Structure 1
Amino acid sequence: MQHPVSAPSGVTAPTYADRIGFAQLTRRAFEGGDLHPLRERLLARIEEGTAEAGEGLDLSLIAQLLGEKEAGLVIQTEVLSFHQLFRTPCAAPKPRLRVLALAADIDMGGNTPIDFLLEDSDIELLTLYVVKGIGLPDTLPEHDVAIVIASDSEECREALALIEKAAPHWPKPLLNRPDLIGNLDRDKLYRLLTGVPGLDIPVTAPTTRAQLSELSQGRIVCEEITGELRFPMIVRPRGTHAGVGLAKLDDAGALAAYLAERQEQDFFVARFVDYASPDGLYRKYRLAMVDGEPYACHMAIADRWDIWYLNAFMAFSEEKRAEEAVFMLNFDHAFAARHKIALNEMSRRVGLDYFIVDCAENQNRELLVFEADNTAVVHNMDPPAVFPYKPPQMRKIFAAFTAMLSRHAQAREESAA
């Protein structure tokens, strides 16, 4: 059965194309597999005119995984111009549930990597790309529950707007509603979470190169950009992620030097919070919020404030891994219990069914929130020989995610009955 949506777009009766998908291809690359032979086979099929749409989308992802982002996006946009619905088959011969993921035409990091969350499950994944100029089809494919996986980035705004327009008439439960995803913007999240007991989130203010230049020359003071701003401050170019352009600036001279090395015109600034633990090390946590409940994804430990899991080199330190293992083992009655009020209220205010939080504890042991988004990768790719404590924890998160999908699907069935 196919489900009508409210605003016909001229596209009818969508049919899916099979693809390998994000999780499998990313795992191959992560584990050191050579993607070049597969790329050559797919290119040959395209040249022969025998390639299917799903193979084209896989080729786009392979190009991005090999560092050829622009070429990959060109391929993706071309494929999506004539086909928008793709299937990633599930592990079971017959799926128990079918989830429809609503995606945007953006690079591989711009949509929730939901494939990882459904790996080895009996849930079939259909991904519908909501493309500029094409929009949603007249009829939606059969599904039990839908979830918006497009991010809060500028490139996804049109897709989110199209989904939001159709949302009131959606025939099945629609999770991560598009009107709430915008709450995750850096300059909106702090407003949303201001006043939550036990939670610290610095004001993240948008600013321009002109303003920062004036600040570096002493023509204005920090407070003229935002009231709580002072040196040392954190600055990053607007629209960047994964630490691109992120810097801690101690004074006006450092700001002038930073601007001399950057070409961007728009930035975010925030006060720097020294969250070093008593032993001088920094500890940064990634949590998955699933159906209102927090789950530990990882803990990074390093002697630098600008931590990502990769630059913490956890794989090379048995001591760090032992601490991370204890963090995960004791999470529910330690970290999560300590920050229960803050986590519950944050989840309530954000309102999304699934999102990721990068956080720490400040020196008052409050929950220090750096950012939240719905597209961070939560995976089970780390080698069990090195991280034996991770697979059980990842499976716990995946089980919670699939249980959430099932609960919403069942609730709709019961209300309809």
Structure 2
Amino acid sequence: MNQAMSDVFKSGHDYAYNTPLEDLDVSHPRLWPSEEMWAVFKRLRDEEPLHYCKAGWDSGARAPDDEPVGPYWSVTRFEDIMAIDTDHHRFSSEPAIVLPNPGKDFPLPMFIAMDQPKHDVQRRTVGPVVSSPSLARMSELIRERTQYVLDRVPFDEEFDWVDTVSIELTTMMLATLFDFPFDDRRKLTRWSDVATAGPETGIVESEEQRRAELMECVEYFMNLWQQRSGGDGHDLITLLANGEETRNMDTMEYLGNLVLLIVGGNDTTRNSMSASVYGSHLFPAEWEKVRANRDLIPNTVAEIIRWQTPLAYMRRTALEDVELHGKTIKRGDKVAMWYASGNRDERKFDRPNELIFDRDNARNHISFGFGIHRCFGNRLAEMQLQILWDEMLKRFSKIEVIEEPQRNFSSFVKGYTKMRVICRR
């Protein structure tokens, strides 16, 4: 990136309003750690709700066969996002849910990036793990683990909430869903981080390293698959290994679905757990509001998920020419549905940048997506967060965030890497 471009990123407002509309690129991850993308989204919603970016950012660090982000459309208003997300006849989830196409020599097929009917049968295969009876069985375990983790955080001392609480709780849950060896559970955290990281993030040094670590992931899981073939367990690996439509999937499709399930079960809930603390720090009156009325916890959780939007967008590919806002999305064009922007759309939510724990329409957020691809683990995520809130309010009068948190260098996974806090009695 040249110096002139570096300078405009110093201020999101300057970049948003001093750059010609046609040159804006909200996919650039440099905007996201300091939350400079909000001003760009505001301008796009107001002035060009269907925006064409002719050359999405490229770190220059991808493998030769990988496609850079390239040209794409941004959809930023709530109602437009809903319309596209539910229109699976004109918009396809294949070949990817992110803007870059998968590398030609390293494809990762996964059911969220598939269309009907294959999407439906693979989703149904793993569905029992989050059925109502399964959630009821897991509820007590989730509470026990939440109590265990929170009982061990120090009072009146600094510590990192992300690593100590958010990552630990979500990794414990992932280990349960996979029936994964518990002592190795932090491998799941690492693989989740690596799966969505490019060399520009600092998580991996090269695309070759990322691929090597993901192959270690699938090798580990292949051993578990072989052990559970023919078994009757209810964990995700056993369900995939014995499902009629999934037991013959090849190695890369297995890896793709593992990445989907690991990232979906880890990054989303973990970042909403961290957002619960950071958001309450920014809006302390809301913390007091729910302390005084625990019945607000379910709505509080919905509002946190709206405000945070842990996965900022999902991509679709146009199957035919589509007219929207007087423009034509051409067949084959990439479309980014910016959930993060839709959840801050003033046309849908009053004072959308604020956390309001008794917001009337908090549950109308689109953080879980909509239509056939709506997150199948949404009820589990909500249950984990509701239990966390209940147990936090039992223990802490407040949780102080003592410095600005560190955030992901990513326009896809919208989250936190470190958050120093102090818990008060």
Q: Normalising by the residue count of structure 1, what TM-score does the alignment of the two structures yield?
A: 0.26
Q: Which has the higher contact order (CA 8 A, sep 6+)?
A: 2
More helix by share: 2
Whose strand proportion is higher, 1 or 2?
Answer: 1
The TM-score normalised by the length of structure 2 is: 0.25
